[in-house]
Amino acid sequence: MKNLTLFKTTLALILMMLYFTLQKVEACTRAIYKGPNGMVLTGRTMDFTLEIPANQWIFPRGMKRSGEVGKNSIEWTSKYGSLAVSAWDISVVDGMNEKGLVANMLWLV
């Protein structure tokens, strides 16, 4: 009797795993690890429906910048240099400045 119950449980778990692995998923996932001494590590996927062409852009410190969303866009001069990754050469989706500040963008339509 115990073997039959174990078999049924194992079969049910296998079927559930197959069901969930065969589902079409269209979402990005983020994982965050909070470690000792205030350390925070993040990782994420780019589970997008299309392949996203990406280029790396290097921005020097002291560069004049603008939000580029119209006449009232914020403007600033960068204090630190940065490396950014673009999507379709339109916008920055990931980046890191020389002091270690990181920005990532996730969005849903």
Cα–Cα separations (whole angstroms), residue 68 to 62, 74, 78, 107: 18, 8, 15, 19
pLDDT digits (tens, 9 = 90+) for 100-109: 998 887 665 5
Residue 14 has pLDDT above 60, yes or no: yes
93/30: higher pLDDT: 93
Do 86 and 57 meet the contact criterion of CB atoms below 8 Å apart? Answer: yes
Q: What is the pTM of this model?
A: 0.57
Q: List, by residue number, the catalytic residues.
A: 28
pLDDT digits (tens, 9 = 90+) for 59-102: 999 999 988 888 899 999 999 999 999 888 888 888 999 999 98
Residue 24 has pLDDT above 70, yes or no: no
